[in-house]
Amino acid sequence: MKKIFMFVNVDWFFLSHRLVIAKEALKNNVDMNIFTDFTKSHQPKDYLGFKLRISPLNRVNLGFARLFLEFYRAYCLVKKEEPELIHAVTIKPILFLGLIARFTKTPFIGAISGLGPAFSSDSLLKILRMKIIILVYRIVFGGKKSFAICQSNHDRDVLFSNNIASQDQITMIHGSGVDLDQYRPIQKASSNRHIVFMASRLLVNKGIIEFCKAAQIVKDNFSGDVDFKLAGSVDSSSPSSISLEDVIYLCKISQVEYLGEVKCVSNLLAEADLFAYPSYYPEGIPKVLLEAASCGTAIITTDHPGCRDAIIKNESGVLVPIRDAEALASEIIVLLNDQKKTAKLGARGRLLAEESYSEQEVVAKHYALYEEIIKKIP
């Protein structure tokens, strides 16, 4: 069997975005080892067909000495167990395991699901950090055994423009895929009451504040009945996290129903008239946008890398500027007043999901890439 190591920054992200790939390992004759930071206990019996192991890398940076120790442990792990391929997801695993792969001459894939906050440049310190990361990326992808997966055209173009990777090193896989059977359209209840829904981690740059402000504007200016609903969990490890108390307060003053953390949002997505996602977070293609499209729900999102890649503009969804609650509210009112257009956007979204976003297609592309790289490189 081919031994592949996949490093993902944290367990909940692996379970929501990469689990389906790991589950198919045995069918593809792969000994798949998943390394991730555990935020809760996991039982091996719950994950058949692959190994879920605690990563030597911690999601949270705890100082230079700790970073060096993490790097050393990861290096020793790779050196001892000699995987035939390393697949790293998100920036820290890419930086650390990419360097280790170069040192050990191990074939490497870096999955860039958004370039992340590290590529922001709104201060001198952040500009310096970005330049250092670009330099390390050039080393990581500078070898003949290093490859990248990009979700958005923006991220691919950033790799090109910064001389990080060449065209033949990059494979485009648009998103993490969606279960088309679980996320599917339903017959909506006949009602004059509309639902606008948002689901996201509770971060400032996911557009939580803009969503709440837009809700209040719509309620003040729309003549019909409309309910705004928000689902999501606090992510206190993120620098742009919002406290639960602040979210509850925001929702209260803007008349948004806060649903808390919802494990599966398929029914909520399918029941909604509109799915709003005013994010300006530096991410890949948000999986929740693929799920909304699969449910046949019209999408309003931002003209922002990753978000705009998830829709066909004015066919499966509409775009609004980032940080603009008034533009978001205006577009919501337009679509609530035009149910024919809203239904058409949703139907096109479902078709797009069937054409491009199925989990089966995403899984097949990953294993085809694994096989191609392992066969190609001696």
Using a 10 angstrom Cβ sphere, with 0-12 exposed, 13-18 middle and 19 or more buried, the burial of residue 78 is buried
Residues in a beta bridge with 317: 299, 313
Those residues whose C-beta lies under 8 Å from the C-beta of residue 361, and which sit 6 or more positions away, are: 177
pLDDT given for residue 309 in this prediction: 92
Q: What number of residues does the chain have? A: 378
Indicate if the alpha-carbon torsion angle 328, 230, 184, 339 is positive or negative.
negative
Indicate if the alpha-carbon torsion angle 60, 148, 159, 309 is positive or negative.
negative
Task: Kindly list the distances between the CA atom of residue 201 and the CA atoms of 131, 208, 254, 258, in Å, as whole numbers in the listed order.
Answer: 28, 9, 19, 13
The two domains 2-177+358-376 and 193-356 share their CATH topology (first three levels equal): yes
Burial string for 141-151 (b: 16+ CB within 10 Å, else e) reads bebebbbbbbb
Query: From edge to edge, which strands make up the β-sheet containing 256-258?
Result: 256-258, 225-231, 193-199, 274-277, 298-302, 317-320
Q: Is-contact 290 310, C-beta < 8 A?
A: yes
Q: CA-CA distance, 349 to 317, in Å (whole number)?
A: 7
Enumerate the domain spans of the chain: 2-177+358-376, 193-356
Class of domain 193-356: alpha beta
Q: At what angle do helices 91-104 and 64-81 cross, to 10 degrees?
A: 50
N-to-C CA span, the chain: 16
Rounded to 5°, the CA angle 22-25-31 comes to: 105
Can you say whether residue 234 is alpha, beta or left, with left for phi > 0 and alpha for psi between -120 and 50 degrees? Answer: beta
The first and second tokens of residue 294, run together, are: 């699969």
CATH number belonging to domain 2-177+358-376: 3.40.50.2000
Q: Is-contact 243 233, C-beta < 8 A?
A: no
| Ranges of the chain whose pLDDT falls below 70 | 115-122, 378
Amino acid at 282: P
Return the closest-CA partner of residue 147 out of 88, 84, 72, 82.
88
Q: CA-CA distance, 231 to 251, in Å (whole number)?
A: 11
pLDDT given for residue 283 in this prediction: 81
